[in-house]
Structure formats: C-alpha cells, structure tokens
Amino acid sequence: MGNTLAIAHKEIKSYFASPVAYVVIGFSAILFGWFFINLLYYFDRASMQAGGGFGGPQTVNVNEMLISPLFMNVSVILLFTLPLITMRTYAEEKRSGTIELLLTSPLTDVQIVIGKFLGCLVLYGAMLAITLVHMGFLFAFGNPEWRPIAAGYLGLILMGGCFLSLGLFISSLTRNQIVAGMVTFAVFLLFWVINWIASFTGPTMQTVLNYLSITEHLNDFARGVIDTSHLVYYVSFIAFSLFLTVRSVDSERWRG
C-alpha cells in the first residue's frame, strides 16, 4: 500500500511539476465552460417558452435539460484529454530508462500499475473538480437536485477510469509517447462510436455493441440512475485493463 501510494505521489508530482497538468486542466476548463454557457442559454430560452403553450415544453427541469446533457458533453472532452494524461505514464519511463529504477526496486508490478493508475485518477479528479464551480452557479441561482448530480459525477469518474486504465495499458506497449497518445485516442474513439453501427445489425449484435460502448453506460448515470449493470461494466473494464497492463509490463521483461 505504501509503495502504491509512493508511486501515485510521484506521478502526481511529475504532472504538476511539468506543464502537463496545467494545460490539461486549464484547457478542459475552457471547453467545459463553453459547453456550459451554450447549454445554459438553451435552457434559459426553453424555460422562457415553457408553459406558454406555443410548442414549448410544459415544465423545465434543470437536471434533465442542463446537467444531464452537460455530463454527456464532458465525455467529449475526456476523449481528447485523457490520452494526453496517460500517454506518458509508461512510454516516458521506458524511454528515459527510469523504468529500470522501478523494476529493480522492491516493488511488485501490481503496485506500480495501481500507483500509476491512482496518479492519473487524481489528476483527472482535479480536472473534474473545476466543473464544480459551474455546478455552484446552478445551486446559487436555481435549485437543482444534488443526487442526480452526484450520480453523474460517479459515472464520469468510472468512465474516466476506463479510459485511463486503457490508456495506461496502451502506454505500456510502446516507448514512444506520440504512438501511445494516438493509439489511445483511436481506441477511445472506437469504443465511443462502436454502437453507431448497432441499428444496422441484428438484435443480438445490437445488444453486444451497445453493451461495449463506454459512453452508452454513461447515459443512465448522467440521468441520475445508478444501475449495477453499468457499475459492473465499468469496474470490470478497469480491472481487466489494469490486469492487461500488469501482464504487459511483465512480458516486457522477457522481451528485454
């Protein structure tokens, strides 16, 4: 445990000592703010028209019309930014030779992998924490329900965890950061759009593809529903990716 935390601590320190953390957090905040303002204007207009009987909605709900779509939009930001967080994790250590320090220290591979994953997760958490400011505005000027919001954040953390663990695995396969970043981005995107083809396939295939899509599982969380099947999906996705990473680090020793 201490060793895992030591690795996590080192990862976080590295992120914040380099521009990586500030660039990732800063620019994500700008994008998030942009999405927020757009949805806010949309919500504002909808609430003006509400109940007017001129084709507008009968009632408006800030959770349903603003927060839920906002969470879905955040997943777009994650698609682009999370590869930037994970691409260096292993690739950089291999290129600079610091991996030799880690692998010759009294640490297990699992401790190293989990430590790195936690480090990424904390940086991602810091990125999400910025969005609490926007939520603060909603609470200050409206009265949204906090429970669906909490569920939405849980969903985002779990989905981010999937992306991060997968990115970690891809980074462990190469010593080139750019390759790691590009492949991670491509795989993320693929997992995102994998169910686009679902409506053209048979019912079985459709279910499978929908189940595989990382973002499909976020829908319910964004709406405030915590469904155990989604929890199982995310947690097993993360566990499997981390397992693959451990195996990949181990096989690296054999390949040399």
Partner 1 sequence: MIEVQHLTRRYGPTTAVDDVSFRVESGEVLGFLGPNGAGKTTTMRVLTGYMPASDGKAIVAGYDVSEHPLEAKRRTGYLPETPPLYPEMTVRDYLTFVARIKGVPRSERKTRVNAAMDRTRVMDMADRHCAKLSKGYKQRVGLAQALMHNPEVLILDEPTAGLDPKQIIETRKLITELGGDHTIILSTHILPEVSQTCQRIVIINKGRVVAVDTPENLMSRLGGSETLYIQIDASGSDATATLEAIPGITKVAPADVRGSLAGFEVSSEMGHDVRRELAAAVVGRGWGLLELRPLRMSLEEIFLHLTTEDTAAADTPEQTSMGAPPEPATLPEEATHG
Contact positions vs partner 1 (CB under 8 A): 2-3, 6-7, 9-10, 13-14, 17-18, 96-108, 253-256
- Residue 135, judged by CB atoms within 10 A of its CB (0-12, 13-18, 19+), counts as middle
Residue 112: CB minimum distance to partner 1, A: 9
One-letter identity of residue 175: R
Q: How many residues does the chain have?
A: 256
Taking the least distance from each CB to partner 1, the nearer of 4 and 86 is 4
Residue 80: CB minimum distance to partner 1, A: 23
Residue 6: CB minimum distance to partner 1, A: 4
CA-to-CA distance for 201 and 181, rounded, in angstroms? 31
Residue 251: CB minimum distance to partner 1, A: 11
Taking the least distance from each CB to partner 1, the nearer of 105 and 201 is 105
Q: What are phi and psi of 104, to 5 degrees?
A: -105, 5
Residue 111: CB minimum distance to partner 1, A: 9
Write down the residue that tokens 């080139």 correspond to. Answer: 176
| 99, 90 contact by CB (below 8 A) | yes
Assigned token pair, 239 = 């566990």
* Sign of the dihedral defined by the CA atoms of residues 122, 126, 129, 131, in that order: negative
| 126, 21 contact by CB (below 8 A) | yes
Taking the least distance from each CB to partner 1, the nearer of 46 and 107 is 107
Taking the least distance from each CB to partner 1, the nearer of 170 and 249 is 249
Taking the least distance from each CB to partner 1, the nearer of 11 and 216 is 11
CA-to-CA distance for 116 and 253, rounded, in angstroms? 18
* CB neighbour list of residue 80: distance below 8 Å, 6 or more residues apart: 185
Residue 75: CB minimum distance to partner 1, A: 30
Taking the least distance from each CB to partner 1, the nearer of 88 and 230 is 88
Taking the least distance from each CB to partner 1, the nearer of 229 and 253 is 253
Closest of 112, 54, 97, 44 to residue 248, by C-alpha: 112
Within 10 angstroms of residue 105's Cβ, the number of other Cβ atoms is 12
Residue 81: CB minimum distance to partner 1, A: 20
CA-to-CA distance for 147 and 153, rounded, in angstroms? 10
